[in-house]
A and B are shown apart, each in its own frame.
Chain A
Amino acid sequence: EPEVTQTPSHQVTQMGQEVILRCVPISNHLYFYWYRQILGQKVEFLVSFYNNEISEKSEIFDDQFSVERPDGSNFTLKIRSTKLEDSAMYFCASTPGSGYTEAFFGQGTRLTVV
């Protein structure tokens, strides 16, 4: 069964450093998303991406965040200058098209900022 894959599974970084989280969505999917889950809290929508541009973004997705689809398969989330409060599980997801179907989630990347 096709799946969304994320790398790395766990990343530790120092405060102020840049991190790039990587995702490979399901190959024929058109919409891509990033979500964040701070430990013990709910999953929060960050951004959606369609046709090589951001479609929607939440208040959380400020100027320190950016997303990119550098090639035909990868979808990345960059955090420019990490803060302690960026420590969270980051989930990538994808959906097949504009008519809504369920989002398929990756296993997540646990980011720890020290």
Chain B
Amino acid sequence: AQSVTQPDIHITVSEGASLELRCNYSYGATPYLFWYVQSPGQGLQLLLKYFSGDTLVQGIKGFEAEFKRSQSSFNLRKPSVHWSDAAEYFCAVGGRGADGLTFGKGTHLIIQP
């Protein structure tokens, strides 16, 4: 069965510092990988996705993620965080069409001044 692990429940980063959020997945076939962000009381917004090709993918808001098949990881990075990046971040893996997405438990990002 597919699964996603986000080992960090909370992460606190100073504004302007770099960020890396970890994600490990388990999936039997070629995975489709996603990072979503959820601000308080809001829905899920797609940050970026990986389907194939270049393993370093760029997303919105200055985020990027690197797919490493050998490590079954898809970590999210940002070189310099802004206070507005404070939110819940979800990594997800999916297959095709009807399968739906499997989400990790999320990482709560706190930005300190």
Which residues on A are within 8 Å of B, measured CB to CB?
Answer: 31, 33, 35, 41-45, 47-48, 50, 55-56, 58, 91, 95, 97-108
C-alpha spacing A101/B33, complex, angstroms: 10
Q: Which of B90, B94, B102, B104 contacts A100 (CB 8 A)?
A: B94
Cβ-defined contact, A99 with B43, below 8 A:
no
Cβ-defined contact, A42 with B46, below 8 A:
no
Q: List 10 A-B contacts (CB under 8 A).
A: A31-B98, A43-B92, A43-B103, A91-B43, A98-B96, A99-B97, A100-B95, A100-B97, A102-B46, A103-B94
Which residues on B are within 8 Å of A, measured CB to CB?
Answer: 32, 34, 36, 42-46, 49, 51, 90, 92, 94-106
Cβ-defined contact, B98 with A48, below 8 A:
yes
C-alpha spacing A55/B36, complex, angstroms: 24
Which residue of chain B has the shortest Cβ distance to A4 in the bound complex?
B43
Which residue of chain A has the shortest Cβ distance to B98 in the bound complex?
A55
Cβ-defined contact, B104 with A42, below 8 A:
yes
C-alpha spacing A45/B3, complex, angstroms: 12
C-alpha spacing A101/B101, complex, angstroms: 11
C-alpha spacing A48/B104, complex, angstroms: 19
Give, as a whole number of angstroms, the nearest-CB distance from B34 to chain A: 6
Given known contacts A91-B44, A100-B51, A102-B46, A42 and B96 CB-to-CB distance under 8 angstroms: no
Q: Which of A43, A50, A102, A106 contacts B98 (CB 8 A)?
A: A50
Give, as a whole number of angstroms, the nearest-CB distance from B59 to chain A: 11
Cβ-defined contact, A45 with B98, below 8 A:
no
The CB with the most chain A CB atoms within 10 A, among B36, B46, B97, is that of B97
> Which A residues lie within 8 Å of B101 (CB)?
35, 43, 45, 103
Which residue of chain B has the shortest Cβ distance to A110 in the bound complex?
B41
